[in-house]
């Protein structure tokens, strides 16, 4: 049986048709969220693998944290969801993102239930349809970020609250309060959601019309239970955060506009508010990794329905059912308005359910004002608009968005292709991969991307190269290619092979399959003609250690862990230029695990003061193999303001960042000679 108008002139939908339509909406929603889930986005981004790593500790180490402090702090709900989906679907992109997909599907369901409980099946179904096909909720449902868990909890709270308002039974308010408390465990932006219900309480207390709408007189017991349930559920997390100063390091990263406001400049906050208010039809999230940059939430046709629903809800503001989505929208947009790069689809996530309900309310209001064929024509047009939104989402999400340079870079599509190649080819020789985050972040990506049993050495491709001493595979990713200076020295004229394909059609990486031993030996022969010394002097007789320090033979042993095998530098550099410095090291033992080490290179004045220097390690100790050489480009910028012309002592060495202790320079019998090596002097001209 089809839909028909009731005695009030409103469209009624028979239960069987309602169920069928809801099933169709959920099938479409599932398709948009599950098709190619492991392939689009075209790789894993670092925040996704941080959540995966936390979930790994839940599964493998029994971690039951109330708050995960990695990556500047993360609320726990999504991490536990990821742990569940990884247990079911594996330690891979699908296992990570399936948690977001489930959150997205449940958001569709709870938006439907909220709309149905407050305004009937027609509003619930249309809001669910928009939730199913609009780009914003589709994106949040396909990326493994904890922001995906915020809309579902907000929608759940909204549904249970609307149901409690209709039911009037005091106990029906308890699950609504518990859902609000659960929302605090999702994402930082959830902290504003209780403000929605606080404002709604004030509105019902002072602004309702007796006899026209439900008020506090009928619901005060429910409100008490609602607040109590929310406090009980949220209390463990709140107590933990209050008792752990510094746990939420992320908040300090987002305070720029508010800092400006406190300093007397309201400009950034006002601009953020205007941009955020315009996100629905004028300009959406400008950050390409989260949106087709600038794409608004709605096209203009659905946007007109959104503004109609908003106007209707404001007009009926004394009715708490209508006031709830308006307040939900206004309050939930606040985190986007007062933080950098507004509007932010992530930080505005709590507004998503209300944003889907308002166009449905607007459409229903239009239907009610029309009669006969015009009404059914309007219903058909509305359904067509939802379908067009779905088509535009398919086009933009699956074909346009993945080809954006920011998406390819942030989601490391090149590393995903490299892993797929390694998984398929399974090479039997060492693999060296250049990247910008070799210590943790990019290796984390491979922890959750199948790549065979490859024996990998990660390096900062711009500043280092590991040379295994025999034939090896060197992978130069498109986003973080190996330094041409290094490839010229060690690969000569060998042409790398372009491999894989990025979403924009470009090669994913360049592959070199060669033996660089001859080039390395030739380079070391020249590098070892440069003298190396040791001395514990705090001040120096001259910049050249030859007259007052002990000269060492190569290799110079550092801490029994690695040998210093030589260096190359020009000796003289103009002020304002960059001193090119190549440092060669050969580990004497395999790495025992992750260790925070740093190599330092400092220019010192004759009285021992630091003029300039850099401390870093571009070839992580985790990947050291005994006998293999790595070269680090330890270039130094000669700042004219800090390094005036003159002769300088150049010292180098290695230390642990855990305790800041330097590796000792060891003599032939293992005796400590000092804690630094001195190289040929540098003349700044």
Q: With 90 as the cut, is the pLDDT of residue 511 above it?
A: yes
Res 517 pLDDT > 80: yes
Concatenate the DSSP letters of all residues of 286-339 into one string: --TTTSSTT--SS-HHHHHHHHHHHHHHHHTTTSHHHHHHHHHHHHHTHHHHTS
CA torsion angle for 464, 466, 467, 471 (degrees, to 10)? -120
pLDDT at 593: 74
Look at residue 368 and tell me whether its pLDDT is greater than 80.
Answer: yes
**pLDDT of 343:** 97
CA dist 292 and 284 (Å) reads 8
pLDDT of 17-59, one tens digit each?
999 999 999 999 999 999 999 999 999 999 999 999 999 999 9
| Average pLDDT of the residues in 107-125 | 97
Per-residue pLDDT at 250: 66
DSSP conformation letters of 211-254: TTS--HHHHHHHHHHHHHHHHHHHHHHHHHHHHSTTS-GGGGGG
pLDDT classification of 9: cutoffs 50, 70, 90: low
Q: How, if at all, do strands 471-477 and 464-467 pair? A: unpaired
Query: How much is the pLDDT for 523?
Result: 97
Q: What is the DSSP letter of 351?
A: G
pLDDT single digits (tens) 546-572: 999 999 999 999 999 999 999 999 999
Mean per-residue pLDDT, 186-208 = 92
pLDDT digits (tens, 9 = 90+) for 460-495: 999 999 999 899 999 999 999 999 999 999 999 998
Read off the pLDDT band of 7 (50, 70, 90): very low
Calculate mean pLDDT across residues 529-556. Answer: 95
Tokens of 416: 């995903």
Q: Which residues contact 460 (CB under 8 A, 6 or more apart)?
A: 434, 435, 436, 438, 618, 619
- Please name every residue paired with 435 in a beta bridge, in sequence order, or none if there are none: 460
Mean pLDDT (the chain, rounded): 94
Share of the chain above pLDDT 90, in %: 87
* Long-range pairs of 385-392 with CB within 8 A, sequence gap ≥ 24: 385/299, 385/301, 385/302, 385/305, 386/126, 386/129, 386/130, 386/133, 386/302, 387/133, 388/299, 388/301, 389/130, 389/133, 389/134, 389/298, 389/299, 389/302, 390/28, 390/32, 390/132, 390/133, 392/135, 392/299
Q: What is the mean pLDDT of residues 73-92?
A: 97
Q: Which residue has the higher pLDDT, 247 or 673?
A: 673
The pLDDT of residue 326: 97
Contact between 480 and 462 under an 8 Å Cβ cutoff? The reply is yes
CB of 581 within 8 A of CB of 633? Answer: yes
Q: What is the pLDDT of residue 245?
A: 81
Which token pair is 29?
């929603």
Asked whether the beta carbons of 215 and 204 are under 8 A apart, the reply is: yes
Contact 131, 140 (CB under 8 A): no
Quote the pLDDT of residue 71: 85
pLDDT at 168 over 90: no
pLDDT level of residue 249 (50, 70, 90 thresholds): low
pLDDT at 209: 66
Looking at residue 446, what is its pLDDT?
95
The residue-averaged pLDDT of 111-117 equals 98
* Predicted confidence (pLDDT) at residue 182 exceeds the cutoff of 70: yes
Cα 597 to Cα 180, 242, 437, 653: the distances in Å are 45, 33, 15, 11
- pLDDT recorded at residue 481: 97
**Interval 409-423 mean pLDDT:** 97
Q: What is the pLDDT of residue 206?
A: 83
Does position 1 have pLDDT exceeding 50, yes or no?
no
- Check residue 205 and give its pLDDT: 87
Q: What is the average per-residue pLDDT within 159-177?
A: 91
């Amino acid at each position: 049986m089809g839909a028909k108008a009731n005695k009030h002139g409103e469209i009624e939908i028979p239960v069987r048709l309602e169920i069928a339509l809801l099933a169709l909406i959920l099938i479409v929603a599932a398709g948009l969220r599950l098709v190619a889930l492991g392939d689009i986005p075209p790789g894993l981004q670092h925040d996704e693998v941080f959540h995966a790593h936390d979930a790994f500790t839940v599964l493998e180490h029994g971690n039951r944290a109330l708050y995960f402090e990695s990556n500047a702090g993360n609320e726990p709900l999504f991490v536990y969801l990821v742990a569940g989906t990884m247990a079911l679907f594996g330690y891979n992109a699908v296992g990570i993102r399936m948690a977001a997909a489930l959150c997205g599907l449940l958001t569709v369901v709870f938006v439907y239930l909220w709309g149905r409980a407050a305004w009937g099946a027609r509003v619930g179904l249309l809001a669910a349809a928009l939730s199913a096909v609009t780009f914003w909720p589709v994106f949040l449902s396909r990326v493994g970020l904890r922001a995906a868990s915020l809309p579902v909890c907000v929608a759940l709270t909204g549904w249970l609250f609307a149901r409690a308002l209709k039911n009037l039974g005091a106990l029906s308010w308890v699950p609504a309060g518990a859902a609000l408390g659960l929302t605090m465990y999702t994402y930082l932006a959830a902290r504003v959601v209780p403000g929605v219900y606080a404002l709604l309480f004030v509105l019902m207390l002072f602004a309702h019309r007796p006899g026209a709408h439900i008020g506090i007189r009928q619901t005060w017991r429910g409100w008490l239970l609602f607040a109590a349930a929310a406090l009980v559920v949220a209390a463990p997390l709140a107590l933990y955060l209050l008792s752990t100063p510094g746990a939420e390091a992320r908040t300090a990263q987002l305070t720029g506009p508010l800092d400006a406001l406190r300093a007397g400049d309201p400009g950034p906050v006002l601009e953020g508010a205007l941009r955020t208010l315009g996100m629905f039809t004028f300009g959406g999230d400008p950050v390409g990794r989260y949106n087709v940059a600038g794409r608004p939430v709605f096209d203009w046709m659905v946007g007109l329905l959104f503004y109609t629903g908003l106007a209707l809800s404001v007009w009926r503001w004394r009715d708490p059912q209508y006031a709830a989505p308006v307040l939900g929208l206004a309050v939930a947009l606040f985190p986007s308005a007062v933080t950098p790069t507004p509007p932010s689809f992530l930080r505005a996530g709590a507004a998503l359910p209300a944003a889907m309900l308002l166009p449905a309310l607007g459409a229903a209001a239009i239907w009610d004002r029309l009669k006969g064929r015009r009404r059914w024509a309007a219903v058909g047009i509305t359904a067509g608009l939802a379908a067009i939104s779905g088509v535009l989402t398919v086009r933009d999400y699956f074909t346009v968005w993945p080809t954006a340079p920011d998406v390819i870079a942030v989601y490391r599509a090149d590393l995903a292709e490299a892993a797929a190649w390694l998984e398929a080819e399974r090479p039997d020789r060492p693999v060296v991969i250049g990247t910008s985050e070799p210590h943790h972040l990019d290796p984390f990506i491979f922890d959750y991307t199948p790549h065979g049993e490859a024996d990998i050495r990660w390096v900062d491709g711009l500043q280092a190269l590991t040379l295994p001493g025999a034939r090896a595979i060197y992978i130069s990713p498109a986003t973080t290619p190996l330094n041409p200076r290094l490839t010229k020295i060690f690969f000569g004229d060998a042409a790398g092979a372009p491999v894989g394909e990025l979403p924009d059609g470009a090669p994913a990486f360049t592959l070199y399959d060669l033996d660089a031993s001859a080039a390395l030996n030739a380079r070391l022969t020249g590098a070892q003609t440069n003298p190396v010394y040791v001395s514990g002097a705090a001040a120096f007789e001259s910049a050249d250690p030859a007259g007052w320090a002990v000269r060492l033979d190569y290799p110079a042993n550092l801490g029994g862990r690695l040998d210093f095998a030589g260096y190359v530098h020009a000796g003289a550099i103009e002020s304002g230029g960059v001193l090119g410095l190549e440092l060669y090291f050969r580990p004497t033992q395999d790495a025992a695990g992750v260790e925070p080490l740093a190599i330092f290179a400092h220019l010192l004045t004759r009285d021992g003061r630091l003029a300039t220097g850099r401390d870093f390690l571009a070839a992580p100790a985790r990947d050291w193999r005994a006998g293999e050489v790595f070269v680090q480009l330890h270039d130094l910028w000669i700042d004219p303001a800090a390094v005036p012309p003159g002769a300088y002592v150049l010292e180098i060495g290695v230390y642990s960042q855990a305790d800041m202790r330097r590796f000792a320079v060891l003599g032939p019998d293992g005796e400590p000679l000092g804690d630094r090596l001195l190289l040929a002097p540098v003349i700044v001209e």
